[in-house]
Amino acid sequence: MLAQNARVTTADDYRAAVRRGARFTVPTGVVYVRRTGSDDTRFGFIVSKQVGNAVVRNRIRRRLKAACYAVRVDVAPGADVVIRALPNAATASYAQLSNDLGKALIKSSLLTSSSSIESS
């Protein structure tokens, strides 16, 4: 599970990441990356009702949190990463979500190695 200091928690931080961050699109979602210059990289998740009912949305959010937890040691510090799940995420496996997250982080130059992506 991601620690409190590793999560985007305020609406202002979400808004800043989505509006001023770089955007990377993958089949299961959109990843927004905003450089902050802090010592930590924080992750946030947006899973709307278009993805599915509450059970499906929470499953997707848990899978995304687990994927972020798995790659957190390989991610360069100093950014806010907000992941917006698209409706395709509802039928995607954990491996697909993790792979898509890795691709977006590699595009954003935040991921320092792809070893944790390949092992998923």
What's the CATH code of the domain at 92? 3.30.230.10
Give mean pLDDT, residues 47-69: 96
Q: Say yes or no to pLDDT of 2 above 90.
A: no
Residue 112 maps to a domain: no
pLDDT at 32: 97
Radius of gyration of the chain (CA): 13
Question: Which pLDDT score is estimated for 38?
Answer: 87
Total of domains in the chain: 1
Is 120 within a domain?
no
In a domain, 113, yes or no: no
The DSSP line for 82-107 is EEEE-GGGGG--HHHHHHHHHHHHHH
pLDDT at residue 113 in the model: 64
Is residue 19 assigned to a domain?
yes
- What domain range is 58 assigned to? 4-107
Residue at 31 is within a domain: yes
Note the pTM of the prediction, 2 decimals: 0.89
Evaluate whether residue 99 is within a structural domain.
yes
Whether 81 is covered by a domain: the verdict is yes
